[in-house]
Amino acid sequence: MREINVHELADEAKFNRFHAKVLAWCFVVIIIDGYDLAVAGAALPAIMKEMGVEAATAGFMASSALFGMMFGAIFLGALSDKIGRRWTISLCVSLQRIHRGSGADQRSCHLQHRALHRGLGIGGVMPNITAQMTEYAPKRIRSFLTTVMFSGYAIGGILAAVLGKQFIAQFGWQIVFFAAGVPVLLIPFILKSMPESLSFLVSRRDSAQLRQIAQSIDPGLKIGANDTFHPPRATNAGAGATVAQLFQDGRGLSTVMFWVAFFTGLFMIYALSTWLTKLMAMSGYSLGSALSLSSHSMWVR
């Protein structure tokens, strides 16, 4: 009888088809998230023109989505400890599209309410999909695989701009939101194909799934009938850590600078995603040209 450390097993594994499957699903989910992040900006000029929405209202709508992302990251990020990561990711994907596929007339819902609802799903995906990728990726290529996964954000944003350029003028701004409802069809496949969190399975003592996943991570591993699985042993190194400690022992300036760097970076990304198309349209460019520039900016980002 032996105890198998599941995280050490994942850290030391060689990249194989199992890891490729995890990467593929995480990549697809991030593309969906990137599309949802950019689609409002792609449709914003048409929405403001058709519905008579002023810039202040449109700005509040975009801000509501970001508030939703904040609460989604906080609460849906922790939900995976209760129901598992696969179900939480699937819930986040469905949250982003319930309001889009619920009826043909998008005017029936309040703009800010829809934006907040959309943000909950977008924000909830981020911590869960990041944890999923880092938990299963071999340690020596973890940073590379995580970077590859996050490139899906740019692809999702480009897809939103390209679809908007091709179809908004002909079918109206609603078409890009209807297209955003298609990924809900992937939820059964996510639940069937994406592996559950190792930590969640260990906490539930699900030996059957752990054996199956461990064998997929390392096909050469011999697992005995009496072998058990456990997470890394807890240490007291970080016990009792508080936010105040971020500012102690000379860490105050670096902590503030990290916050400022993240704030300015995210400010630029979300501001461009939301307003670039509208600003180009106000400058006299056609909607198609504005969306083309928006898609090009995604590559730069």
What was the pLDDT predicted at 47? 76
Question: Tens digit of pLDDT for each residue in 181-213?
Answer: 888 899 999 999 999 998 888 888 888 888 899
Report the DSSP beta bridge partners of residue 4. 229
Residue 64: pLDDT over 80? no
Q: What is the mean pLDDT of the chain?
A: 80
Section 2-28 average pLDDT: 91
Burial class (CB within 10 angstroms; exposed 0-12, middle 13-18, buried 19+) of 235: exposed
More confident residue, 68 or 233: 68
What was the pLDDT predicted at 93? 86
Residues 6+ apart with CB under 8 A from 2: 224, 227, 228
Distances (CA, A) of 87 to 80, 136, 183: 8, 17, 15
Distances (CA, A) of 61 to 3, 47, 146, 212, 298: 52, 12, 31, 45, 22
Instruction: Report the alpha-carbon angle 197-182-116, nearest 5.
Output: 75
| Minimum mean pLDDT range among 86-90, 99-103, 112-116 | 99-103
Taking the C-alpha atoms of residue 290 and residue 301, their distance in angstroms, rounded to an integer, is: 17
What was the pLDDT predicted at 101? 41
Domains of the chain: 10-195+243-300 (1.20.1250.20), 196-232 (no CATH)
What was the pLDDT predicted at 207? 84
Question: Tens digit of pLDDT for each residue in 116-150?
Answer: 767 788 888 888 999 999 999 999 999 999 999 99
- Which range of 76-80, 193-197, 263-267, 283-287 scores highest in mean pLDDT? It is 193-197
- Which range of 97-101, 165-169, 237-241, 255-259 scores highest in mean pLDDT? It is 255-259
Residue 17: pLDDT over 90? yes
Confidence of residue 241 (pLDDT cuts 50, 70, 90): low
More confident residue, 40 or 130: 130
